[in-house]
Amino acid sequence: MERSQMDNSPTSAIMELANLISVSMSLTAVVKLKVPDTIWQNGSNNPLSAAEILSAAAAGPGGDAENLQRILRLLTSYGVFNQHIGEDGSETRYSLTEVGKALAADENGLSYAPYILQHHQDAMMLAWPLVHEAVLDPSSEPFVKVHGERPYSYYGKNPEMNLLMQKAMSGASVPFMKAFLDGYDGFQGVETLVDVGGSSGDCLRMIMTKYQRIEHVGGDMLKSIPPGDAIFMKWLLLSSTDEECAQVLKNCCDVLPWGGKLIVCEPLMPNSTDNSPTCRALLQEDIFLMTMYRTKGKHRTAMEFRELGLAAGFPNFKADFRIDDFFTVLEFQK
């Protein structure tokens, strides 16, 4: 049998699916062991062997290089590391791919590493065995079934988790915001901007670096939205039900002046399902949301957003500004 036919065999496919957790937990392990920062070394990205990584990573004395190499080998297959096979019996070494580089801290100490840790911390992991409960009883989230409260109130009682959440959001959002602000001029002329659900405030800070005349105010979206001539909301509606989104959009519409804009950055669900990495990433986060944050929160299609906007009083809707393959800018205009 040809290799490609073998790769498509149902046995391999089901075995891969059955053990996919090995990939995310290995990713978590390399972050905990500080492997990406150890290889990256301020941009050198020199290939290192597992033994070299262990001795440089300050992971404590000892450590099993063969086991680390097994983890690196798996993640090589998933595009996180490049594998450099040693010649003449010398050790195999690993460097970071473009994907792996996202896990190494940049000059501001930001990366996707806290996002990986946040998603695999014990409190989240305990909810995963209950995904089926979101089907049987959607009245509460699997996370709530385990912990008795929603993630944000749980984080609020635990400063370490709260900080991790903020670092996770900053690590993912700052690179996005750089690209967004380079290409998007929709904040031109805005004087008062409301950032709803702003986490550590990084997104707003970055907007204000470019648009220095903007003043900002904060708020709780479900109660009321403070007035401004534009409202910004990023990565927020996905953890709300349709009813909550309707309420939030209406609250926004009520306080915006005629012609005022609600600028939303959200992942946009494609109309059809395929096996591309983008589609898979969107579908996976959709299940994460269902399990942790809101059983009826979800990624929505452009059409679903347009309808929610129309019902809330926004006659104009645009979803044609895509910064990367994950987030799209949606403009609701009054």
Ligand X SMILES: O=C(O)c1cccnc1
Binding region for ligand SAM (CB under 6 A):
152, 169, 173, 196-199, 203, 220-222, 234-236
Q: In 184-241, where does DSSP find H-type helix? A: 202-210
Q: Between β-strands 316-322 and 327-333, what pairing exists: parallel, antiparallel or unpaired?
A: antiparallel
Which of ligand SAM, ligand X, none binds 199 (CB below 5-8 Å, type-dependent)?
ligand SAM
Residue type, 113: A
Q: Is the dihedral of CA 118, 162, 328, 201 positive or negative?
A: negative
Token pair of 310 as six digits? 């129309």
Which residues neighbour 61 within 8 Å (Cβ) at sequence distance 6 or greater?
A: none
- The structure tokens 């993912």 sit at 172
Which of ligand X, ligand SAM, none binds 203 (CB below 5-8 Å, type-dependent)?
ligand SAM
- When the beta carbons of 100 and 197 are compared against ligand SAM, the nearer one is 197
Give the nearest distance from C-beta 176 to ligand SAM in angstroms. 8
- When the beta carbons of 57 and 264 are compared against ligand SAM, the nearer one is 264
- When the beta carbons of 104 and 248 are compared against ligand SAM, the nearer one is 248
Give the nearest distance from C-beta 290 to ligand X in angstroms. 11
Alpha-carbon gap, residue 57 to 31, rounded angstroms: 11
Which of ligand SAM, ligand X, none binds 69 (CB below 5-8 Å, type-dependent)?
none
Alpha-carbon gap, residue 327 to 178, rounded angstroms: 13
- When the beta carbons of 68 and 168 are compared against ligand X, the nearer one is 168
Alpha-carbon gap, residue 261 to 232, rounded angstroms: 9
Which of ligand X, ligand SAM, none binds 221 (CB below 5-8 Å, type-dependent)?
ligand SAM
- When the beta carbons of 31 and 248 are compared against ligand SAM, the nearer one is 248
Alpha-carbon gap, residue 78 to 19, rounded angstroms: 13
List residues near ligand X by CB under 6 A.
168, 235, 238-239, 293
- When the beta carbons of 128 and 293 are compared against ligand X, the nearer one is 293
Token pair of 7 as six digits? 């790769």
Give the nearest distance from C-beta 91 to ligand SAM in angstroms. 40
- 123 in Cβ contact with 161 (< 8 Å): yes
- When the beta carbons of 83 and 247 are compared against ligand SAM, the nearer one is 247
Which residues neighbour 60 within 8 Å (Cβ) at sequence distance 6 or greater?
A: none
Give the nearest distance from C-beta 150 to ligand SAM in angstroms. 9
Closest-by-Cβ residue to ligand X is 239
Other C-beta atoms lying within 10 Å of the C-beta of residue 243? 9
Give the nearest distance from C-beta 239 to ligand X in angstroms. 4
Give the nearest distance from C-beta 237 to ligand SAM in angstroms. 10
Which of ligand SAM, ligand X, none binds 293 (CB below 5-8 Å, type-dependent)?
ligand X
Alpha-carbon gap, residue 90 to 312, rounded angstroms: 65
